[in-house]
Amino acid sequence: MLERSVIVLASFSYLGVLFAIARYGDKRAEAGRSIIANPYIYALSLAVYCSTWTFYGSVGRAASSGIGFLPVYLGPTLMVALWWYVWRKVIRISKTYRITSIADFVASRYGKSQALGGLVTVIAVLGIIPYISLQLKAISQSFTILLHHPALVMPAQAAERPFFQDSALYIAMMLAAFTILFGTRHLDATERHEGLVAAIAFESVVKLLAFLAVGAFVTYVVYDGVGDIFARAQHDPRLRGLLTVPPSPASYGTWAFVTVLSMLSIMFLPRQFQISVVENVDEGHLGKAIWLFPLYLLLINLFVLPLALGGLMLFAGRGVDADTFVLTLPMSLNRDGLALFAFLGGLSAGTGMVIVETIALSTMVCNDLVMPVLLRQRWLRLNERRDLSGLLIAIRRLAIAAILILGYIYFRAAGEAYALVAIGLISFAAVAQFAPAILGGIYWKGGTRAGAMSGLVAGFAVWAYTLALPSFAKSGWLPRAFLTDGLFGIALLRPLELFGLTGLDEISHALFWSLLANVALYVGVSLAGRPAVAERNQAALFVDVFLHTHGVDRSRTWRGSASVQELLALTGRFLGPERAHEGFLAYARRRGLPDPRALVADADLVHFAETLLAGAIGSASARVMVASTVQEEPPTLDEVMDILDEASQVRAYSHQLELKSRELLEATAELRAANLRLQELDRMKDDFMSTVTHELRTPLTSIRSFSEILLDNPGIDAAERGRFLAIIVKETQRLSRLINQVLDLSKIEAGSAEWHAAEVDVEDVVREAVDSTSQLFREQGVAVAVSATAGVPAVRADRDRLMQVMINLLSNAVKYCPRGEGYVEVRVAAVADGVRVDVRDNGPGIAREDQETIFEKFRRVGDTVGPRPPGSGLGLPISRRIVEHFGGRLWVDSEPGRGAIFSFVLPLDRGAEPGREEAQAAG
């Protein structure tokens, strides 16, 4: 049944289905109805972690080390619990600054350094190549085995065949073509591939189902359940050792080291970074993935041990490689359909890993390695090309092909010397080198570019020396003496026992030394040197990403000039003019502008263009390109320090604190003053009340006593009665006048009095007031005269109130004038600042010390001695308040014995100037 044509047809149909899913996913994404925007797809796509290593290799590992295959999955289970903090932050940083790969992340964190981006890319590519060769090896193995069906032939001779007969080569080529079709159909500023993610999630389902199917078949059909397999294995002396962890310290050491290694790999493998960060649709999906992804890992590992033990027992002595059990078990039991399903499961595990990994790597190679170099080659004149997006895609396609070819070469060179898992662990150890630079970079502002650079170089060098080179040596590509005697025959430099360290396995040994060198140099060099301004800037943006996400004030760190057209043209060259225009249009719309041309080329727009570009060519290159277009002045150290440095923030806080406490002091002083004023007012109110009651009591008392006399003496004669009643009426009038005035005054003071401001001719008012008081003057025998200079301007005031003031002043003057020879003179004159009115009498005058008190309520001169003059004592205070209300002032000028002059000045209202008035009327 399993003809070659059936296998090839099934493989290609499977890839066709994948492609269809990807197309569908892309279409839905374009239509805005994403099929991957839920946590389940996200968690499934994370399972790209389970490559053929898991699918075939776990069983192989379990067959040789029992439970030792598990730490690779326990590590991620533990790590994702911490993702709530760690990865959320990385995702936020990457989304905010449009970071599209690990290289981009590291480069961006350490001052957008092209050199660092390039270094990370080189490490990632060289480190991942063994891993890709692992996939090629596994797929080609499974293909070869299936081709020889029904015989069980191990493909160990594959490497001896000429390469053109080697199925691995064709598989590599096919995968390259498929990846190119998948991942680089067009250029996207965010480097997101929705369709791809959908296909990867589908692959995760397929490989899980295939593995579970084979596992369940072997466990429950061939054997009688898990307990049966273990029970039989107990009786096999060769298998008994697998059933416990050998109680040596080294095995626990390996367990712990591999756990740590896989904890780092789940984050820093380029494909994991691509899927979990770059392709992440929503930060919130992280939550459910924290338990769904470990659940997936648990499920796919359930049957590993039963399969390993079952295979070992079934194939005892037949030389079947345990790495192939998943496929060979169904084959040997003549389950062709299941075998084909297992093959497809392995294919999905392998293709998923290769596709995502090479896409991630090709993005890095293009953005952080090739483009920075190309853009520097002036003779290429790339700066003058209008549209570079075609070039970018071409570079990525070449990079994909090149990476797969390198994987194939490694497979030919070293692949056969190692089991699947061992090859994979070499790659894990390589990407673990990113941990100090990235984890340090997001939590420690002090990490510098030089520190990251030296840490990475040292860690990678140690990795190469202790893991990569030995793998070549074991395959015979390097002299074996290198392993046994060390470099130049120095025993201390033996790559697998560096400095004489024995007792650790290869991976733990390499991981220990490389991470030690890496962390030591990263921290040491960072602390020894000083970060540049750009590094400080980026460090703060990364470490405080949750603070900065809500509006960074870029204008403070950026000074420069740019033009919208230039930025649009620059972006267009890398993204293609249409995409660039779309991006700018969307940006303009967000700002409420109809057209990108209406945009202002400010710091925000430059930043927007840079992040847009960063998506296509990496942040370091984007920085260089934007800097070439925009005339920028770099922010000075002081400026950056001011804004971003912790110290300056603290300083700013303490400054604010000082300001606040000063304000507090001022407020306290104001409060104290207000309190004093309140107390004063309270006292004045009490005084006022007692005075008012006193003033009211006097007329009341006389009214009452005269009324009582009238009541008690009915026989009083008519003339007497008339006199008493006249007194009562007069006192009543006085009383009501007093009450009116008190009310009036309180109204004025409370600001609730009604004012009817109008044009008032002061002379007119004065004459009218004199007329209305003429009766009083006649009664008292006081002469009155009014004089006015010509051309007294009108003022803006309330005519009735002004009249009240004049009558008060006039009656006041009459009161104090000597009877018969009294003389009151009223003068109206225009002065510089308004109209002045003087009321002069020839009374006794007012002593200097009394001249202010008379304006207080109920105060009269001579209060204490002599008869009380008539009047309420409220006239002058009321008059003064009225004049002050119109912006004028009222005062007295007097010397005892020489009469008194009460004067007031009313200011000229600007609106009252004739010209202005007319102008307003005309307007």
Partner 1 sequence: MERPGRTGQRLVAVFTAGVILLNYPILFLFARPVSAAGVPILYLYVFGAWTALIAALAYVIERSRE
Count of residues engaged in binding partner 1, rule: CB under 8 A? 33
Phi then psi for 871, rounded to 5 degrees? Answer: 110, 160
User: Burial, 282: exposed, middle or buried (Cβ in 10 Å; 0-12, 13-18, 19+)?
Assistant: middle
C-alpha separations of 814 from 730, 776, 804 in Å: 19, 8, 15
Closer of 294 and 440 to partner 1 (Cβ): 294
Task: In whole angstroms, give the CA distance from residue 581 to residue 584.
Answer: 5
Tokens in use for 801? 């109130």
- Are 359 and 274 a contacting pair, CB within 8 Å? yes
Give 894's strand partners: 900
Min separation Cβ 542 and partner 1, Å:
19
From candidates 157, 234, 654, 675, binder to partner 1 by CB under 8 A: 234
**Residue 245 sits in the site that holds partner 1 (CB under 8 A):** yes
From candidates 294, 495, 822, 875, binder to partner 1 by CB under 8 A: 294
Region of residue 752 (left: phi > 0; alpha: psi -120 to 50; beta: else):
alpha
Count Cβ atoms below 10 Å from residue 129 Cβ, excluding itself.
24
**Residue 287 sits in the site that holds partner 1 (CB under 8 A):** yes
From candidates 305, 308, 326, 355, binder to partner 1 by CB under 8 A: 305
* DSSP letter string, 845-872: ---GGGTTGGGSTT--TTSSSSPPPSS-
**Residue 54 sits in the site that holds partner 1 (CB under 8 A):** no
Q: Residues 516-555 vs partner 1: string with x where CB under 8 A?
A: ----------------------------------------
From candidates 247, 500, 594, 897, binder to partner 1 by CB under 8 A: 247
**Residue 37 sits in the site that holds partner 1 (CB under 8 A):** no
Closer of 25 and 76 to partner 1 (Cβ): 76
Three-state secondary structure of 455-484: HHHHHHHHHHHHHHHHHHHHCCCCCCHHHH
Min separation Cβ 262 and partner 1, Å:
12
Min separation Cβ 109 and partner 1, Å:
23
C-alpha separations of 144 from 7, 138, 151, 154 in Å: 11, 10, 11, 8
Among candidate residues 582, 429, 578, 449, the one with its CA nearest the CA of residue 510: 429
Distance of CA 352 to the CA centre of its chain: 34
**Residue 226 sits in the site that holds partner 1 (CB under 8 A):** yes
Closer of 284 and 489 to partner 1 (Cβ): 284
User: Burial, 96: exposed, middle or buried (Cβ in 10 Å; 0-12, 13-18, 19+)?
Assistant: middle
Piece in contact with partner 1 (CB under 8 A), picked from 27-35, 291-299, 321-329, 705-713: 291-299
From candidates 24, 220, 230, 688, binder to partner 1 by CB under 8 A: 230
From candidates 19, 24, 220, 255, binder to partner 1 by CB under 8 A: 255
**Residue 512 sits in the site that holds partner 1 (CB under 8 A):** no
Phi then psi for 544, rounded to 5 degrees? Answer: -105, 35
Min separation Cβ 302 and partner 1, Å:
8
**In this structure, are strands 900-907 and 889-894 parallel, antiparallel, or unpaired?**
antiparallel
Q: Residues 687-716 vs partner 1: string with x where CB under 8 A?
A: ------------------------------
C-alpha separations of 97 from 415, 471, 519, 534, 541 in Å: 39, 39, 26, 15, 9
**Residue 309 sits in the site that holds partner 1 (CB under 8 A):** no
Q: Residues 71-100 vs partner 1: string with x where CB under 8 A?
A: ---x--xx-xxx-xx---------------
From candidates 45, 58, 219, 259, binder to partner 1 by CB under 8 A: 259
**Residue 355 sits in the site that holds partner 1 (CB under 8 A):** no
Among candidate residues 869, 885, 807, 870, the one with its CA nearest the CA of residue 839: 807
Closer of 67 and 313 to partner 1 (Cβ): 67
Min separation Cβ 236 and partner 1, Å:
14
Piece in contact with partner 1 (CB under 8 A), picked from 290-298, 554-562, 631-639, 720-728: 290-298
**Residue 313 sits in the site that holds partner 1 (CB under 8 A):** no
- Are 608 and 552 a contacting pair, CB within 8 Å? no
Task: Kindly list the residues in this chain that would bind partner 1 in the complex (CB under 8 A).
Answer: 67, 70, 74, 77-78, 80-82, 84-85, 226-228, 230-231, 234, 243-245, 247, 252, 255-256, 259, 287-288, 290-291, 294-295, 298, 302, 305
